[in-house]
Amino acid sequence: MALAITDSLLKIVDDYFGVLDQFLKACPEDLWAETFANWPISQYFWHVLWINDRVLPGPNLVNPAGATDDAALFKNKLTAVSKAEVAKLWAAQKPQTVAFVNSLTEANQNQRNENIFQAIGVEWGNVYSVIKLHSHAFYHLGTFDAALRSRGLPGIY
C-alpha cells in the first residue's frame, strides 16, 4: 500500500516543483521585487520555500540574506532577496523532498510530521504534509500567475 501512495506523492512533488520552476523562469527581475497584493512577489515565494523546508527532515536551510522566519510567516516585509538565490534553494529542495517521500512506509506515513509541528504547531501526518505542500504551492501560484498577467505576460496556467 505504501508504494502506491509513494508513487502518487512523487507525482505531486513533480507537479508543484514543475509549476513553480516555470514561474521562476517566467518572472522578470523587476516583477520579482515588486509588491503585489500587499507583499513582494519574492516574499510569497520565500514563504512557499520556507514551508517546504520546514516539512522536510534534517537541518533547515540557511536563510538567504534578508529572508527571515518572520518574513516567511508574513509578520514583516521581506527585504531584498535575490531570485537566483531563491531558485538555487528551491532546486536543492526537490531531491530532499523526493527523499522524504521515498522514506515513507506503512508504519510512518500517517505519523505526525514533527518538523512542521515544531515550526508552526500544526498536526499534519507525513502523507498529508506532502499533499498540503502541493495545495499550498498552487494557492500561491495563483498570486504569481495574476502578477504575470497584470504585466501583460503569459501566465503559468
DSSP string, 97-149: HHHHHHT--TTTTTSB-HHHHHHH----BHHHHHHHHHHHHHHHHHHHHHHHH
pLDDT at 68: 83
In this prediction the pTM is 0.89
Please give the DSSP secondary-structure letter assigned to residue 106. Answer: T
pLDDT at 25: 94
| Residue where the block lists cell 513582494 | 40
Rounded CA separation 51/120 (Å): 9
CATH code for 2-150?
1.20.120.450
Which residues, including other chains, have CB under 8 Å from residue 147's CB and lie 6 or more apart?
27, 31, 34, 36, 41
Predicted confidence (pLDDT) at residue 2 exceeds the cutoff of 60: no
More confident residue, 141 or 60: 141
Note the pLDDT of residue 112.
Answer: 95
Q: For residue 42, give the amino acid letter.
A: S
* 3-class state of residue 154 by DSSP: coil
What three-state secondary structure class fits 141?
helix
Residue 28, number of CB atoms within 10 A of its CB: 12
What span, in angstroms and rounded, lies between the C-alpha atoms of 22 and 44?
15
Q: pLDDT over 70 for what percent of the chain? A: 97
**CA 86 to mean position of chain CA atoms:** 11
Q: Where are the domains of the chain?
A: 2-150
- Note the pLDDT tens digit of each residue in 90-106: 998 999 999 999 999 98
Distance (Å, rounded) from C-alpha 68 to C-alpha 56?
18
